[in-house]
Amino acid sequence: MNTKALERFAQAARRQLLDEVGAKLEQALATDSAELREKATTVQELRKQIKANSKEAVIDRVAYTWFNRFCALRFMDANHYTRAGVVSPLPGHTQPEILQDAKQGHIVEDLQQTIDADRVFALLSGELPSSDPQGEAYRLLLVGVCNQYHKQMPFLFEKIADYTELLMPDDLLSEASLLHAMREAMTDEVCEDIEVVGWLYQFYISEKKDQVIGKVVKSEDIPAATQLFTPNWIVKYMVQNSLGAQWLATYPDSKIREQMEYYIEPAEQTDEVNAQLAAITPSSLDPETMTLIDTRPVALGTSLWRPMSSSRPYT
């Protein structure tokens, strides 16, 4: 995997998103338009968030929210987890497949539950006036997809707040857009490796990490200062020699041992120590309740360590 290309993309993407989200925020606060008057409640919520935190904090959070979702959707597109390319075009095309389908009058049935399909079609047909009908329709499709996946993966696709949608970057379809650069960096080949998600996270926060290291760290900057991507082999080593060791202590004949390439066999012990270990070893284990580091269940099964793969930062 060419991590240098990912590093260049993630750092440039962060700067671009901060600029674009910041511009949308200032526009929402300063512009008096019919569109924004219709979203008065959303603008008010945005003002509350700024007052409770700061402009910089809101911009930073929204920028990362969209970066995280765009990268996740690209990874899912590349691995054919999505029915139609959400941020990816079909070969020979330049616009995302989901938008191309909508232009032909088709939206996946499941998606119609989280989106105003009539508004999308009206924008694309010209029935609804807009300065950027395709861009506006595509943003509606993106929000609908994210909210649809919220039901299946709430840990990744949190429900999008109205002000988060309001601050979504405008340019997502041109060759200068973030999505175009993302597709060039996150090729189909790169996306075959789950570690791409972890590397992107680390590279995204790397510049901010450099800014805060060595200083008194604010609470909102703690993740940038302390979180590092954990490569998959380290995760395997940690899991196999903790949960794996515990499993084998209870089930010494388990064939799971054959799949644990980083497992270290325990040293020989005296009879007294073996007796003490036997006394504290449970007679049975529920793999769905076994945890490591955090409190989320880790299942031991055929895929073995996938639930603990480095798809998110661990501290």
Residue 213 has a pLDDT of 59
Residue 262 has a pLDDT of 92
Q: 11 or 289, which is more confident?
A: 11
**Per the structure block, which two tokens stand in for 232?**
């998959």
Residue 69 has a pLDDT of 93
DSSP string, 233-299: HHHHHHHHTTHHHHHHHH-TT-GGGGG-TT--PPPP--HHHHHHHHHHS-S---GGG--SSSSS---
Q: 32 or 45, which is more confident?
A: 45
For residue range 228-258, what is the model confidence (pLDDT) as tens digits? 666 777 788 888 999 999 999 999 999 999 9
Residue 291 has a pLDDT of 77
3-class secondary structure, 64: helix
For residue range 182-235, what is the model confidence (pLDDT) as tens digits? 999 999 999 999 889 888 988 998 887 656 555 555 666 555 555 566 677 778
Residue 214 has a pLDDT of 52
Q: What is the pTM of this model?
A: 0.73
For residue range 57-109, what is the model confidence (pLDDT) as tens digits? 999 999 999 999 999 999 999 999 998 999 999 999 999 999 999 999 999 88
Residue 185 has a pLDDT of 96
Alpha-carbon distance 207 to 11, whole Å?
A: 7
Residue spans of alpha helices (H) in the chain: 3-30, 34-38, 40-52, 55-78, 97-103, 117-125, 133-152, 162-166, 178-185, 195-212, 222-226, 232-240, 243-250, 271-280
Q: 270 or 108, which is more confident?
A: 270
CB 84 within 8 A of CB 98: yes
Q: Tell me the C-alpha to C-alpha distance, in Å, between residue 79 and each of 12, 23, 114, 140.
A: 24, 33, 23, 23
Q: What is the mean pLDDT of residues 3-16?
A: 95
For residue range 110-167, what is the model confidence (pLDDT) as tens digits? 788 888 899 999 999 999 999 999 999 999 999 999 988 988 888 778 877 789 999 9
Residue 181 has a pLDDT of 96
Residue 238 has a pLDDT of 87
For residue range 271-287, what is the model confidence (pLDDT) as tens digits? 999 999 899 999 999 98
Q: 249 or 35, which is more confident?
A: 249
